[in-house]
Chain A
Amino acid sequence: MIKKRINIRMSGLGGQGAVTAAHVMAMAASRDGKFAISNPFFGAEKRMAPAESYCRIGINRIYDRGELVFPDVIEVFHPQVITMGKSYTMPFYSGIKEGGVVIINSDIPLLSDEDVKTLKDLNVSTFYIAGTTIALEVAGTELSTNMTMIGSVAGITKCVSMEGLDGALQERFGKKFVASGGTATLDEAIKKKFAKKEMLLQKNLDTVKRAYQIAAEWAEKNNVELAVAEA
């Protein structure tokens, strides 16, 4: 399916970087010359509490903002979003559009037979990626899990380029960034994991690339097409 705009809903847990992931995606799309808007939605900032962010990417000016009720892509950053209902609504995929894609960070299947049937009836494809495992392997820290979620959605939809992502990551982590207290603390935490800032950027980019490759291969093999362009 080729759409003028795709809407990505990222459901994660506080501290996983779902907000950062949406911002990085939107920054990359903007660098690529597309229109993009990203925004977060969370309650009190608390690790492991449900947190969501949204990224809209399109070929025309975007006005829509706020919680994404009818997404094309849903990314699940943590199994607990599904298994413990740490989603703003149950089931986590409510509102997904026909022909959409669900991307789940898990090394084992998590959906019930009923969920699988509902998604199949809507012609929604489901892609599992062992994101946290990949983050540990490539970057050496699970804090880079969000990079695998960026890579996954980019690999399947090609809605942002690798060049755009590289630039966006440098913009986000390469300079002083003032955000809320929670985000600032996590930024410091991830910077301490790496000897140098350049290494952080490189390892994160490598993580994005690995996930991108796996996701792109999956999409090609399963004939999943969801792209942003003039229809």
Chain B
Amino acid sequence: MATQTVIGSKNKKDQVYTDPWKMMNEAERTPSFFTGSEVIKEALRRASCDVMIAYPITPQSEAAALIGELFAEGYIGDYFRGESEFAVMSQCAGAAFGGARVFTTTAGPGTMRAMENFPMWAGARLPIQMIVTCRGINSPLSIQPDTLEISYLMQTGMLVWHAETAQDFYDWILKGYMVSEEPDVHLPLALCCDGFFVTHTKDMVDLTPADMCLPPYDPYRSPVPCMDMECPPVRMMRDPFVMKSNYISYATHASWQQEVWAAVERSRKHTIAWLDGLIEIEKPDAEVLIVTSGTAVSQGREAITLLEEEGIDVGLVKVKTLRPWPGEEIREATKHAKHIIVPEFNVAGWMAREIRATIPNSERVYAGPHVCGGMTMPPEIIAADIKSAMGIKTSALAGRGS
């Protein structure tokens, strides 16, 4: 295959195209103290990205600007700013149709504005990677983290992963391309994190060598032909089904939409290999389990430490991927749990809903605590909710605003 022939050769920046598995799992790592935005830049430096399209919206603007710096240094094929998020996502589609490895970043209201494009990306089987640095989307306005937008992305047919830390982000950007570009997957990836808590936080991250990069994207591994003027990607481009109402168009839709979701399922085996499982479990035998994703996992880990000091044993399930949804894994991991606590950074509680729909005896699920609009989630309030779910009396916490 074409991608294998380039391994070992150098790009114009003197980086060596490296076997991705070796690069991610065997190459020596350098610990670096970086913000999440800087980490996105460092991952992109090694991603052999052809096109990055940017539009400013907090909290992803820094990452987008930093990738502009990378372009200036010569690491990105092309880089430009769209006139809105909707335009950016449409332009990403154009670049991906043309056979490019595409990257973009967005957040909150930007994600919502561009929403029309995401099921289109999935339907057109475009392996675009989009970083979503979640922020509040409701009125009143907030620029702070709130994960509500993820619940909308989960029905688009995109792969949706939720990173906990900057380290996840670094690894998953690079691994994400490997999964989403597989011929039997070939879908866009929404790689989400909680804005500010990851993007603006300085944390220790182990980086792979800067002189190694991913092999370039090979558009001829696409299950639908890449676009050139001789060969439009699918017949709908010239003869759209929307113009017709007949059984052929309905049947095509039914089979194609099922095929998109089947591709999401087929990504499972690749994702398990690259991410070392769709979930991570700590203390699976504990009677109480925290099950959640993103920054809520970090806050949960701190709550576990607090409760340990009081002699209360609590376990943890970190959900790494939301699409594909690790239903089987969660059922197995929560088999013995009496209480399942689901802390979330949004008021809707979509994660608790997904878990309730997955496991038997769903009354075990305690949906909360919830914070939204950018409020922080002190581990103390998770610990207090766990105690109250267990029937242990707690006193009210005197925090800010009380």
Contacts and interface: CB of A to CB of B under 8 A. Distances in A.
Interface of A: 23, 26-27, 30-31, 35-41, 43-44, 63-70, 88-89, 94-95, 178-180
Query: What 3 A-B pairs have minimum CB-CB distances, sorted nearest first?
Result: A66-B376, A67-B376, A63-B298
A26 B401 contact: no
Interface of B: 33, 35, 61-62, 65-66, 69, 143-145, 165, 196-197, 200-204, 295, 297-299, 301-302, 375-380, 398-402
Contact of A70 (B62, B196, B197, B399): B399
Given A37-B201, A41-B144, A43-B143, 10 more contacts: A30-B202, A41-B376, A64-B299, A65-B299, A66-B197, A66-B376, A67-B400, A94-B399, A94-B400, A95-B399
A170 B282 CA distance: 39
A89 B401 CA distance: 6
B144 to A, nearest CB: 7
B380 A94 contact: no
16 contacts: A26-B202, A37-B202, A39-B196, A39-B197, A43-B143, A63-B297, A63-B302, A64-B298, A64-B379, A65-B299, A68-B376, A69-B378, A89-B400, A94-B401, A178-B65, A180-B62
Nearest to B164: A63
Contacts of B398: 94-95
A180 B61 contact: yes
Contacts of B377: 66
Contacts of A66: 145, 196-197, 295, 299, 376-377
Contacts of B399: 69-70, 94-95
B378 A70 contact: yes
B376 A30 contact: no
A149 B91 CA distance: 47
A135 B267 CA distance: 57
The prevalent SS among residues of A at the interface is loop
B36 to A, nearest CB: 9
A40 B33 contact: no
Contacts of A44: 143
B106 to A, nearest CB: 17
Contacts of B66: 178
Contacts of A31: 33
B22 to A, nearest CB: 27
A61 to B, nearest CB: 9
A88 B400 CA distance: 8
Given A94-B400, A94-B401, A178-B69, A27 B33 contact: yes
Contacts of B379: 64
A26 B33 contact: yes
B243 to A, nearest CB: 46
Nearest to A94: B400
Given A38-B202, A39-B196, A63 B143 contact: no
A36 B165 CA distance: 14
Given A30-B33, A41-B144, A65 B378 contact: no
A37 B34 CA distance: 10
Nearest to B31: A30
B70 to A, nearest CB: 10
Nearest to B375: A67
Given A41-B144, A44-B143, A178-B62, A23 B298 contact: no
A5 B197 CA distance: 19
B201 A70 contact: no
A67 B401 CA distance: 13
B185 to A, nearest CB: 31
B123 to A, nearest CB: 36
Contacts of B69: 178
A31 B69 CA distance: 26
Contacts of A40: 196, 200
A199 B297 CA distance: 44
A94 B402 CA distance: 8
A187 to B, nearest CB: 14
B201 A64 contact: no
B299 A63 contact: yes
A39 B200 contact: yes
Nearest to A87: B400
A36 B379 CA distance: 17
Contacts of A95: 398-400
A39 B400 CA distance: 18
B343 to A, nearest CB: 12
B288 to A, nearest CB: 18
B256 to A, nearest CB: 41
Contacts of B165: 63
Contacts of A36: 33, 202
Contacts of B299: 63-66
Contacts of B62: 178-180
Contacts of B380: 69-70
A119 B375 CA distance: 25
Contacts of A27: 33, 202
A37 B204 CA distance: 8
A205 to B, nearest CB: 19
Contacts of A180: 61-62
Contacts of A68: 376
Contacts of B376: 41, 66-69
A184 to B, nearest CB: 9
B401 A39 contact: no
B196 A69 contact: no
A26 to B, nearest CB: 5
A23 B35 CA distance: 9
Contacts of A37: 201-203
Contact of B201 (A35, A38, A88, A94): A38
